[in-house]
Copies of this chain bind each other. A is one copy, B any other.
Amino acid sequence: VDSARFAYSGLERIFHERGRLAVCISLIASEGGMRFAELQEACALTDGNLSRHLHALTEVSVVTLARERHGTRMATVVRITPQGRERFLAYLDELEAVVRDARAHSVESIAPPCTLSPAKAT
């Protein structure tokens, strides 16, 4: 119903967490994938935190992990999946709506509001 105008049900919890948001933005910029260490640096996350976020994202098929040769060493390479990308872009649409709503309302409220009778000061 329209009464719940600020429910934002499209803000999927899997993406709406600062660390995972950072991870997904990093990954949509590089279809070739990113090494664990690169991702950690880009997102300023600890080993443990990045591991936990990647675990959560692989469980819902948003990212994939693969051990691959990188120069002379092996590295864990993280990629966003096509379906993960699509879901993340839908999440971004909702995030954009949030910012737009908020901006519109913070301007509206410069006009004197009068939804409630004023509180008695005495």
Contact = CB atoms under 8 A, between A and B. Distances in A.
Interface residues of A, number: 57
A65 interface: no
B30 A113 contact: yes
Contacts of A25: 6, 98, 101-102, 105
A18 interface: yes
A119 B44 contact: no
A114 B32 contact: yes
Interface string A85-116: 10011001001101101110110110001111
A24 B114 CA distance: 18
Contacts of A32: 113-116, 118
Contact of A4 (B7, B43, B89): B43
A29 to B, nearest CB: 4
Given A8-B21, A99-B96, A102-B92, A109 B70 contact: no
Interface of A: 3-9, 11, 13, 16, 18, 21-26, 28-35, 41-44, 66, 68-70, 77, 85, 88-89, 92, 95-96, 98-99, 101-103, 105-106, 108-109, 113-120
Given A4-B44, A69-B120, A70-B117, 18 more contacts: A4-B41, A6-B25, A16-B18, A21-B98, A25-B98, A28-B102, A30-B113, A31-B109, A31-B113, A33-B115, A34-B116, A35-B116, A66-B119, A69-B117, A77-B116, A85-B106, A92-B106, A95-B95
